[in-house]
Amino acid sequence: MGLPLKGVRRLQLVQNAAARAIVGAPRYAHVSPILRELHWLPVGLRMQFKVLVITFKALHGIGPGYLQDRILPHSSQRPVRSHRLGLLQVPSARQCRLAGPRGRAFSVVAPTWWNQLPPEVRTTPTLPAFKKAVKTLLFRQAWG
């Protein structure tokens, strides 16, 4: 989100080097087991974690107001399950034209990632419980 893949790769290299330095591993040691041992998410998933936490805060009125305006609940003319499930509206390409590259705008990425969360995570009532649930979910996604 907001960062080209080239930038994410560079940050991942820095994180990998830091992980190796912390555990005293050789420079070319495989880093996945080290990251897993340290309970660190890869940079891309760490970015996703941060966006989801900011989205949770915005939805619960504890985030910045300018972001609360960017996140809209899924709306429909008739009652549907998506309202109860806490889904968010993903803006169309036309609505996002001025927001930069469509795939990297917060107003697109946040609702997309939010809607991909399991319902039990989306409906978590407190921030600490939400953070724990999301980190566990992303950790399992990264390391199985």
pLDDT of residue 103: 62
- Looking at the DSSP bridge assignments, the partners of residue 88 are 73
One digit per residue, the tens of pLDDT, for the chain of length 144 reads 566 778 899 999 999 999 999 999 999 999 999 999 999 999 999 999 999 999 999 999 998 888 888 787 877 656 655 556 789 988 876 665 555 555 678 888 899 999 999 999 999 999 999 999 999 999 999 998
Amino acid, single-letter form, for residue 94: R
- Looking at the DSSP bridge assignments, the partners of residue 24 are none
Output the DSSP codes for 8-20.
HHHHHHHHHHHHH
